[in-house]
Structure 1
Amino acid sequence: MTQAVEPAEYDVVVIGAGPVGENVADRARAAGLSAAIVESELIGGECSYWACMPSKALLRPVVARADARRVPGLAGAVQGPLDTAAVLAHRDTYASHWKDDGQAAWLEGVGVDIHRGHGRLTGPKAVTVTAPDGTERRLTARHAVAVCTGSRAVVPDLPGIDGARPWTSREATSAKEVPRRLVVVGGGVVGVEMATVWGALGAEITMLVRGKGLLPRMEPFAGELVAEALTDAEADIRTGVSVTSVQRSAPDGPVTVALDNGEQIEADEILFATGRAPRTDDLGLETVGLEPGSWFTVDDSCQVEGVPWLYAVGDVNHRALLTHQGKYQARIAGAAIAARAQGVPNLETGRWGAHAATADHAAVPQVVFTDPEAASVGLTLAEAEQAGHRVRAVDYDLASVAGSGLYADGYRGRARMIVDLDREILLGVTFVGPGIGELLHSATVAVAGEVPLDRLWHAVPAYPTISEIWLRLLETYRDGGS
């Protein structure tokens, strides 16, 4: 028999305690509102334990070794294999050993009440939390409920998939041993990053990509340069192929992967990095007139269409499935919730307003932490042309910049900026090359700030750094090159 406990009322109730939910609750508290957060797993969410933090902790020694091997006088000192045990231990530390005490203490420290269990909407502004012991508690929100439950990896419904025990991003970032042979299905960010990690730790990598190349959401040269590096590292990349079935005949045996071209591949593990779905299946959306299992449709303040007290923030609204964008949305949504609760008559919901997540449309940054790194913000050339802008792509070889040669011998990389010819501002920038991840924020400022090119000309890059690429791109544009 389910036991109910005393109900509680708050100004704001947040479902999901990942980075997005934490930020919504924190912004509500900072504005003087009371807030509660509901979480069924670990406080800190996917990013902290199975995505951003563990994956980047795994990638850092891989990339650092690759960089060191390209530096004269240092290369000979780093020729041995990586210390796998130390790399995995480093990963475990950054995943907090899959314990959330620190994150829980932070939330409690800012005055947010934590309710552990599964949260479901049970009507307007009402959330029922079922705790692990089966007890239920009804939470009521005076002003807003924010759904911040994120997304989950999608595993295709293939013959044999249930018994094959495939990896998703969770298993790939938390595995305790290096598989001898790993098949990676998918050529997006998760696929290339995990191929980079486990290949460097000794696994034989086979990548199976349905499309024409890697990183299809970036400029084509990004995927090409990353593919070259993975191939140099002895990964077998096969494009234009699909998996038709998988089979693992014994619990500890190999997995056999059948392809649509008739081939079969045998591996020890198979990772499906083939997309994400919203975690909205069992949230009680039907009780407020919404479709369970679907992405939310929201405005720029992350308010759900047709349900003014409900907000959907982060992955669940499908605007930009990136932790930093979700946290950005959380700051916007938190400010909007507080303003509406305080009766502010006119919210700043126009372009670049305090209550509008404009960057989701115009200036989303992303870094892919492979070797080489790939980083982009804003629109690609194809996206800009499809949107009807009159644009020009300006390209430059990053290896020709003085700072890149000092960074590494044999540096390979490329940069592109997309110029709006009518307004003479940047719509997008892409960098590919070692060490360019930290260069991306300068591009993000230029795109989000809509900095005129004649003003950007006066932002002088320090010599000799890789950031001199800005001068070279602007010179190329001024001189009529492409």
Structure 2
Amino acid sequence: MGAREYDVVVIGAGAVGENVADRAAQAGLRVAIVEDELVGGECSYWACMPSKALLRPGAVLRAARAVDGARQAVSGGVDVEAALARRDRITHHNPLTHHHDDRSQVEWLASAGIDLVRGHARLAGRKRVHVTQAHGRSLDLIADEAIAVCTGSRPHVPDILRDIQPWTSSDATTATRAPSSLAIVGGGVVACEMATAFADFGTAVTVIARSGLLGGMEPFAGDAVRDALVARGARVRTGVRVVDAVRSESGASLTLSDGTTLAAEQVLVATGRAPRTDDIGLESVGMTPGSWLEVDDTMLVSGSDWLYAVGDVNGRALLTHQGKYQARAAGDAIAARAHGAPLDLRPFGTHVATSDHRHVPQVTFTDPEVASIGMTAEQAEEAGIRIRVLDYDLGWLAAASTLSDAYRGCARAVVDEDRGILVGATFVGADVGELVHAATIAVVGEVPLARLWHAVPAYPTLSEVWLRWLESYGRP
């Protein structure tokens, strides 16, 4: 059988690949997308959606227990079996067959005019892809215009822990029961979210982090999450690392760098991510397998005029929403180049992704939630920006007293004094994830603080923090 010819071939049908393919198809290009697992990818089945489904029951219970009149009606803790069943419904997982159902995503691809090719794709030279399919079949694809690598990333497992076969994030989010005890190695977002979820399930959780929690964010964010975990019975060990690991029939035993040992039924490794580029044929185009792929602001791989790398594989911002943002930029750039149209290279232009550098919003769904955009105070100072920091206790807002009988939270704005704009914001507290988009608009849009006085927040909502920040800063 001869090779199939398309304008664009996308490798990886996760959220990022789907968006690249859709953007190119909308521009009239012939597009094929290759996937060897599930259409919808990591976020739909093993990351964003299942993790948030696991976290929600505990968050709802805490919210109810924080309000007199509701707490009296609450008895018991999270029903783990029901919580796992709800997760399965959200991720289209059949617990009897242990398989996910991606039919709805497949149907969407068809409706968008995108051809789906099932199988493992490897680059086979310039603008060529070889697909190994089931039952020994194979297929070659030719891309007249571009190939987009959207294969994402995988959990990094340190060598010292490989032999004990620890859980990765995917194992944790697809768990069929809550272990009696869980040691979590790492202190980032995955570690903190899974510590929160399994502590809610009644598991004895221990977090082992070389430094504090949520590094790279404002220090008070990690401190608040640590304090909440400890208050609920979890242990948080910082300043230590695992130096030895052994597994037995009863579980795992970890030896830490301070000489202490820790026994746990299960161990979760959450120590970072590695690009899924080790087996996609990079060597056929003179690149190094397993490497992150360096790109420009249109996601074009450095030194290439046809190969794009979008999402986690380029290492710029390992977040689903940022990957989808990059995908729209890449799809537009591919289409523009295919049609010989000029690219808009201005900041925030139609075709260029600039918001995946400093302007990255993120929500960590812990207890309490942490939502942030842009730079921390330390990062801004390191960048040479003359800043002023505005801190406010969210518990002082009128809305806080209606949301909870003991609301605890804080918010920080980082102001560029020379330009009179926000360059960063961090919120910590219940339900603060819904605050971050307003801050994202202010940061990305470089809205002057003097103008924000006219953006009046509704009363009584947590958004009144904006008014309090402005009052702290001073009248224009």
TM-score, normalization: structure 2? 0.97
Q: Report if aligned partners of 1:302, 1:312 keep a CA contact under 8 Å in 2.
A: yes
CA distance, structure 1, for counterparts of residue 38 and residue 246 of structure 2? 32
Counterpart of 1:107? 109
Matched, 1:219 2:221: no
Counterpart of 1:342? 339
Instruction: Tell me which of 463, 467, 471 is aligned to 1:467.
Output: 463
Per-residue deviation, 1:249:
2.1
Matched, 1:183 2:196: no
CA distance, structure 2, for counterparts of residue 16 and residue 124 of structure 1? 18
Per-residue deviation, 1:397:
0.6
Per-residue deviation, 1:149:
0.2
**What aligned pairs does 1:428-447 form with structure 2 within 5 A after superposition?**
428-447=424-443
Q: Report if aligned partners of 1:66, 1:371 keep a CA contact under 8 Å in 2.
A: no
The letter for the 1-side match of 2:200 is A
**What aligned pairs does 1:309-324 form with structure 2 within 5 A after superposition?**
309-324=306-321
Q: Secondary structure at the match of 1:359?
A: coil
Q: Secondary structure at the match of 1:476?
A: helix
Q: Secondary structure at the match of 1:277?
A: strand
1:199-258 Cα offsets, whole Å, 9 max, x none, are 1001000110111x11012100000111111111111001001001211123xx211111
CA distance, structure 2, for counterparts of residue 360 and residue 388 of structure 1? 20
**What aligned pairs does 1:74-113 form with structure 2 within 5 A after superposition?**
74-97=70-93, 98-113=100-115
1:89-110 Cα offsets, whole Å, 9 max, x none, are 0111111112211111111111
**What aligned pairs does 1:3-402 form with structure 2 within 5 A after superposition?**
5-97=1-93, 98-158=100-160, 161-211=161-211, 213-250=212-249, 253-344=250-341, 346-402=342-398
CA distance, structure 2, for counterparts of residue 134 and residue 189 of structure 1? 40
1:323-344 Cα offsets, whole Å, 9 max, x none, are 0000010011101111110101
CA distance, structure 2, for counterparts of residue 115 and residue 245 of structure 1? 43
Q: Report if aligned partners of 1:350, 1:356 keep a CA contact under 8 Å in 2.
A: yes
Counterpart of 1:476? 472
1:370-425 Cα offsets, whole Å, 9 max, x none, are 11100000111111111111111111111111111211111111100110111101
The letter for the 1-side match of 2:171 is E
CA distance, structure 2, for counterparts of residue 422 and residue 453 of structure 1? 12
Percentage of pairs with the same residue: 58
Counterpart of 2:96? none
Q: Secondary structure at the match of 1:199?
A: helix
Which deviates further from its counterpart, 45-54 or 282-291?
Answer: 282-291
Q: Are residues 467 and 140 of structure 1, via their aligned partners in 2, closer, same or farther at CA, if it must alter by over 3 Å?
A: same
Q: Secondary structure at the match of 1:418?
A: strand
CA distance, structure 2, for counterparts of residue 236 and residue 95 of structure 1? 30
CA distance, structure 1, for counterparts of residue 2 and residue 54 of structure 2? 44
The letter for the 1-side match of 2:398 is A
Q: Report if aligned partners of 1:28, 1:338 keep a CA contact under 8 Å in 2.
A: yes
**What are the ranges of 5 or more consecutive residues in structure 2 without an aligned counterpart?**
94-99
The letter for the 1-side match of 2:176 is K
The letter for the 1-side match of 2:375 is L
CA distance, structure 1, for counterparts of residue 172 and residue 310 of structure 2? 26
Q: Secondary structure at the match of 2:389?
A: strand
CA distance, structure 2, for counterparts of residue 67 and residue 479 of structure 1? 36
The letter for the 1-side match of 2:60 is A
Per-residue deviation, 1:81:
1.3
CA distance, structure 2, for counterparts of residue 349 and residue 278 of structure 1? 28
The letter for the 2-side match of 1:91 is R
CA distance, structure 2, for counterparts of residue 144 and residue 229 of structure 1? 48
1:162-190 Cα offsets, whole Å, 9 max, x none, are 44220000001000011000001111000
The letter for the 2-side match of 1:119 is A
CA distance, structure 2, for counterparts of residue 375 and residue 414 of structure 1? 11
The letter for the 1-side match of 2:199 is G
Q: How many residue pairs end up in the alignment?
A: 470
CA distance, structure 2, for counterparts of residue 382 and residue 257 of structure 1? 34
CA distance, structure 1, for counterparts of residue 278 and residue 162 of structure 2? 20
**What are the ranges of 5 or more consecutive residues in structure 1 without an aligned counterpart?**
none
1:63-119 Cα offsets, whole Å, 9 max, x none, are 111111101100121231111111000111111112211111111111111111110
CA distance, structure 1, for counterparts of residue 468 and residue 439 of structure 2? 14
The RMSD of aligned alpha carbons is: 1.1
Per-residue deviation, 1:479:
6.8
The letter for the 2-side match of 1:186 is G
Q: Secondary structure at the match of 1:374?
A: strand
Q: Report if aligned partners of 1:301, 1:349 keep a CA contact under 8 Å in 2.
A: no
Counterpart of 2:450? 454
